[in-house]
A = this chain, B = another copy of it.
């Protein structure tokens, strides 16, 4: 008996700094409608899906960046997404900048949520691996100030039962870290959904765009294969106010094979039917963790943050 989840990876083309949230939500609703026509059970939107990728902009006073944050979810602007989910009986995943008051202080996170087919938020993730830097860096070709605007996520890498399977989330740079997928793999994850805003060029080097596209695929494929899980990675793509973001939204099978991939840098729905039962073979053979992992030799992974060179 197959456990089928039909997924729509809802890539978004560029969002300019001047674009309103409502105009973006309109585009997202078009993608949800397309997904509904194709009988999708789940739509996956990118990281920070409601606005331009604002961490490229430097603000002396970080509070000036608050205009890019959501202080409630759903909000007036995003409520239609939840309405569409309920109307279509279709879950969705959404990334956004979260401003929240917790324990008497204001916190800002790069956040994603998992919404079930009734339109209810069932899971929240806050980005752990924040790339970039916290201070203006004149040596870079462009700024990548995630460490300035966001705190490190405090929710860890959890999983949730939804759509008959075990779902996990991560965000953008998290996908490059095998720890991300392994922590979810150790909870039996069967589908990891993630969004990204990844510049086409490196701010500090002349890495060619195709090498960076390869790293995107390599990270998601390795995470899928090594945990025998589906991985759905969704880009915000194209040219935002002169800054290029890569595309390459992809649905990756538990074998590490890409089964569907975006071919534009625009709003595009990439659809695949994912059989969660396909996770079982890898989890029971090569990646039967209980049979093969040897945690007594992994100590450094959790004991030590940075590299320590031998004498």
Contacts and interface: CB of A to CB of B under 8 A. Distances in A.
Interface of A: 128-131, 152-153, 156-157, 159-161, 166, 173, 176-179, 182-183, 185-188, 202, 204-205, 211, 214-215, 218-219, 221-222, 225-226, 255-257, 281, 283, 285-295, 297-310
29 contacts: A129-B293, A131-B292, A157-B297, A173-B286, A177-B226, A178-B178, A178-B182, A182-B300, A186-B301, A186-B304, A187-B308, A187-B310, A188-B307, A204-B285, A211-B255, A214-B256, A218-B256, A219-B222, A219-B225, A288-B306, A289-B306, A289-B307, A291-B306, A293-B306, A295-B302, A298-B301, A298-B302, A301-B301, A301-B302
- State the 4 A-B residue pairs at the shortest beta-carbon distance, nearest first: A290-B306, A178-B178, A222-B222, A188-B309
Copies of this subunit: 2
Most buried by B among A152, A159, A286: A286
A291 B132 CA distance: 9
A290 to B, nearest CB: 3
B295 A301 contact: yes
A197 B13 CA distance: 45
Contact of A293 (B188, B288, B305): B305
A306 B310 CA distance: 31
